[in-house]
Amino acid sequence: MNTVTIRANMAESESLETITEHERILQEIESTDTACVGPTLRSVYDDQPNAHKRFMEKLDARIRNHDREIEKMCNFHHQGFVDAITELLKVRADAEKLMGQVSDTNRRLQDAGREVTAQTEEVIRCRIQQRNMATTVEKLQLCIPGETPHLRKNLTIYYSALKTMEQLQNIYIPRVSQYRFCQIMAETLPKLREEIKEISMSDLKDFLESIRKHSDKIGETAMRQREREREIERENLKSTYFKGTWVRKCFFNFVSFLFKVLTVQDLVDFSPVYRCLHIYTVLGDRETFENYYRKQRKKQARLVLQPQSNMLNLDLFVKLFVFFVVEDHILHATQGLVTRAFTDELWNMALSKIIAVLRTHSSYCNDPDLVLELKNLIVIFADTLQGYGFPVNRLFDLLFEVRDQYNETLLKKWALVFRDIFEQDNYSPIPVENEEEYKAVISRFPFHDAEIEKQQFPKKLPMSQSVPQIYSQVKEFIYASLKFSESLHRSSTEIDDMLRKSTNLLLTRTLSSCLQNLIKKPHIGLTELVQIIINTTHLEHACKYLEDFITNITNVSPETVHTTRLYGLSTFKDARHAAEGEIYTKLNQKIDEFIQLADYEWGMAESDGRASGYLIDLINFLRSTFQVFTHLPGKVAQTACMSACKHLATSLMQMLLDTELKQISMGAIQQFNLDVIQCELFASSEPVPGFQGDTLQLAFIDLRQLLDLFMVWDWSTYLADYGQPTSKYLRVNPSTALALLEKMKDTSKKNIIFSQFRKNDRDKQKLIETVVKQLRSLVNGMSQHS
């Protein structure tokens, strides 16, 4: 190996060593504390010359390498850094808010701390007071007996507190009077007494207010107990199972025991009154308490008597009941707090007021149920207070006025009932198809007829459906009237008398008025009137059963001297007579309607030989009508038939004598005669049985004699026998004959009737004139004689 090679190898070896040394130095610099860097750097300069240059180069390369690493690292973490900055910016607002909340919390904690500090100081002060009070109590116990610590407690136990104060003032305080607190206690005792008076008076006011507020419940409880007793009593009176007096009495007493009325002490706590009275008495101020109590109770009485509404109800009675029951108890339980004169004054004031209210209220009440409810309230109220010794005669006297009002409301109610029954009636006999229907009818109405009972079904009962309905409603009215008589403490005779009188009013006033109005209604025809007469006849016969019905209720014998009889007989007789009169009127009206259809040709030459059509229709109508009358009593049918015939005869006579009719021919007289003959035939055919001989025909005797006189032209006989009892034409009045003859007289040239007389028979014309003169003479003589 040559020198160059060796040197080259040596140089290379030296270079590697240098590089290794530089790496070591760099590592030391990087890893060694800065205080030791100096010696390390100095070794660089201690080495070979120019070694520091190479070290610097190495250092620069190392720095560049680290820069590259740092740059890589920064590039790698750049996005995270940006995100972190962004998050920090977001957190900044929340951090500011949190800072504000922390500041506010700190402020509030400071404020709360001050309050706690103040309260702590107050607690310390209170504990010091408690300790001082405990020490005081301990010291007082050494001076005063053990009862004294209960003084304040005894303030609520009024009497005990007063006794304690009396003992303190008279016994214990003088023993320890040398202490200043004893003097303070002695000065405080009068104030404590006044405090006790105020507390007891407050309790009394609470008691009075409680009585006012709870009077409804208290009074209603007691009064309803009394009402249950009255219901048991009513059931006892009505019971048909307990016939023996002793059994009924035992049963009533047993049930009354079960429903015994609570005493007022059970319902009201009177201890506040007793305590307050005793305290004021002990303190020597009883008169003040008495005056206050009486003044307050009088004021409450006036308030009770002022209802909050115009409606009278249980509330007023309950409040009055509680008020006076309380006063009665106070009267008997205390000595002189209230007097009998005081309670009587309040009672008379209340009684006058409530009677006025009751009288006014009942006068405006139109509902019988409401009136009955009012009566029951009065009875319960009166019975209950009578048991406490209050006079209630004026209330029972008022009940008689209320009873009259109740009866009036019942009569008005039943007037509507009767009116509905009459409006719904078909006024036809009741048809019964079988035995069951027949029994259903007679179970509601006492009907007995042997002939009808023998008939086979189906059959008809003579009355219409309104009869059993009216009879049932009269019984319902009696029951309703009886309800008012219950619990009035009246004898059976008095109740019987009240029932009969009210029933008489129903029959004679209400039912009679309904019947009279019914009879006068335009739609009631002859058939309906006939049925009404039949109905009233059966109702009249049923009156005795109504009397028996009342007797069974009251157990008062009808033979009793003072028993009032029912006036149903006269009531139904009057209604029947009115119906009969209406039959006569309507029958005559119907006859007038037929006669208005008459159309005579008064100038006809001769008759056509047969009766007029209108008269034939009229006769047929009368025949069918009188067949319906067969169900009427005989005299009614006969009277109706006679009245119809007389009215027909009178109407026919008026037709002939009508002043509007100026001329009548002989042919018209003949036609008229045919019509009268039909009337006479009808009368002789006995349309209604019971007439004797030609009694019915006599209704047409005036017409018959007048027509015969003109038909026969028998003037000589008439004039010769005039005024004689045996005259053939006794029923012909000269003025009637003259009026008719004047209509036949020839008074002008236009007279058609006697045109032939002027030519052929002037003598007859002269005869007529002569007869006319003689008739006028008779008429004038009659007028002068009269």
CA distance 344 to 349: 8
What pLDDT does 470 receive?
Answer: 93
Neighbours of 473 (CB within 10 A): 18
What pLDDT does 594 receive?
Answer: 92
Report whether 696 contacts 641 (CB < 8 A). Answer: yes
- DSSP annotation of 34 reads G
**Largest CA-CA distance found in the chain, in angstroms, rounded:** 229
Point out the least confidently predicted range of 13-22, 121-130, 474-483, 753-762: 753-762
What pLDDT does 331 receive?
Answer: 73
What pLDDT does 564 receive?
Answer: 66
Mean pLDDT of the chain: 77
Work out the pLDDT band at 137, boundaries 50, 70, 90. confident
Q: Which residue has the higher pLDDT, 34 or 524?
A: 524
What pLDDT does 233 receive?
Answer: 54
Going by C-alpha positions, the residue among 315, 208, 221 that lies closest to residue 267 is: 221
H helices of 305-367, where?
Answer: 314-333, 340-363
What pLDDT does 618 receive?
Answer: 93
Point out the least confidently predicted range of 24-38, 236-250, 518-532, 581-595: 236-250
The last residue of one of the domains, among 406, 434, 469, is 406
pLDDT in tens, 351-369: 777 778 777 777 777 888 8
For residue 296, pLDDT beyond 60: yes
Does residue 461 sit in helix, strand or coil? strand
**What is this structure's pTM?**
0.60
631 with 549, same domain?
no
Q: Please report, for residues 111, 529, 628, 631, 738, the alpha-carbon distance to residue 625 in angstroms, rounded to integers and kept in the order given.
A: 118, 12, 5, 11, 37
Q: Which residue has the higher pLDDT, 441 or 373?
A: 441
697 with 640, same domain?
yes
The last residue of one of the domains, among 355, 376, 406, is 406
* Residue 150 is assigned to a structural domain of this protein: no
Residue 389: which residues within 8 A CB-CB, separation 6 or more?
Answer: 328
For residue 544 the two structure tokens come to 């005795």
Going by C-alpha positions, the residue among 240, 358, 370 that lies closest to residue 310 is: 358
What's the mean pLDDT in 590-608? 89
For residue 282, pLDDT beyond 70: yes
* Residue 158 is assigned to a structural domain of this protein: no
What pLDDT does 266 receive?
Answer: 59
Q: What is the CATH number of the domain that holds 692?
A: 1.20.58.670
What pLDDT does 243 receive?
Answer: 35
- Domain total in the chain: 3
What pLDDT does 363 receive?
Answer: 74
Work out the pLDDT band at 201, boundaries 50, 70, 90. confident
Work out the pLDDT band at 216, boundaries 50, 70, 90. low
The tokens 């030459």 sit on which residue? 605
671 with 765, same domain?
yes
What pLDDT does 364 receive?
Answer: 75
Q: Which residue has the higher pLDDT, 2 or 244?
A: 2
* Residue 215 is assigned to a structural domain of this protein: yes
What pLDDT does 141 receive?
Answer: 61
435 with 399, same domain?
no
* Residue 584 is assigned to a structural domain of this protein: no
For residue 680, pLDDT beyond 80: yes
For residue 345 the two structure tokens come to 């004054």
pLDDT in tens, 422-479: 999 999 999 999 999 999 998 999 988 888 888 888 888 989 999 999 999 999 999 9
What pLDDT does 151 receive?
Answer: 39
* Residue 183 is assigned to a structural domain of this protein: no
574 with 639, same domain?
no
For residue 649 the two structure tokens come to 């005869």
The last residue of one of the domains, among 385, 406, 427, is 406
Q: At 663, phi and psi to the nearest 5?
A: -135, 140
What's the mean pLDDT in 743-763? 53
For residue 149, pLDDT beyond 50: no
Q: Which residue has the higher pLDDT, 780 or 473?
A: 473
What's the mean pLDDT in 118-137? 85
Q: What angle do CA 176, 180, 181 make, to 5 degrees?
A: 80
For residue 519, pLDDT beyond 70: yes
For residue 256, pLDDT beyond 50: no
Report whether 547 contacts 503 (CB < 8 A). Answer: no
214 with 304, same domain?
yes
Neighbours of 530 (CB within 10 A): 23
* Residue 633 is assigned to a structural domain of this protein: yes
What's the mean pLDDT in 672-697? 89
527 with 663, same domain?
no
For residue 260, pLDDT beyond 50: no
Report whether 583 contacts 640 (CB < 8 A). Answer: yes
Rounded to the nearest 5 percent, the helix, strand and coil shares of the chain are: 75, 0, 20
548 with 436, same domain?
yes
For residue 701, pLDDT beyond 90: yes
Work out the pLDDT band at 694, boundaries 50, 70, 90. confident
Work out the pLDDT band at 704, boundaries 50, 70, 90. very high
Three state DSSP letters for 693-748: CCCCHHHHHHHHHHHHHHHHCCHHHHHHHCCCCCCCCCCCCHHHHHHHHHHHCCCC
Report whether 622 contacts 649 (CB < 8 A). Answer: no
Q: Which residue has the higher pLDDT, 590 or 363?
A: 590
What's the mean pLDDT in 512-536? 89
For residue 228, pLDDT beyond 70: no
Work out the pLDDT band at 562, boundaries 50, 70, 90. low
Work out the pLDDT band at 244, boundaries 50, 70, 90. very low
Point out the least confidently predicted range of 185-199, 201-215, 343-357, 659-673: 201-215
Residue 361: which residues within 8 A CB-CB, separation 6 or more?
Answer: 312, 374
For residue 187, pLDDT beyond 90: no
Work out the pLDDT band at 15, boundaries 50, 70, 90. low
* Residue 85 is assigned to a structural domain of this protein: no
Q: Which residue has the higher pLDDT, 325 or 725?
A: 725
Going by C-alpha positions, the residue among 597, 746, 588, 741 that lies closest to residue 657 is: 741
What pLDDT does 360 receive?
Answer: 78
Q: Which residue has the higher pLDDT, 75 or 343?
A: 75
Query: By residue range, what is the domain housing residue 715?
Result: 617-783
665 with 629, same domain?
yes
Q: What is the CATH number of the domain that holds 575?
A: 1.10.357.30
What pLDDT does 2 receive?
Answer: 52
CA distance 367 to 287: 51
Residue 760: which residues within 8 A CB-CB, separation 6 or more?
Answer: none
Going by C-alpha positions, the residue among 254, 264, 266, 260 that lies closest to residue 228 is: 260
Neighbours of 130 (CB within 10 A): 10
Neighbours of 759 (CB within 10 A): 8
What pLDDT does 645 receive?
Answer: 93
433 with 533, same domain?
yes
What's the mean pLDDT in 760-781? 77
What pLDDT does 634 receive?
Answer: 65
218 with 270, same domain?
yes
What's the mean pLDDT in 541-565? 79
For residue 75 the two structure tokens come to 């590039």
Work out the pLDDT band at 754, boundaries 50, 70, 90. very low
For residue 517 the two structure tokens come to 């109005």
388 with 476, same domain?
no
* Residue 258 is assigned to a structural domain of this protein: yes
- DSSP annotation of 557 reads -
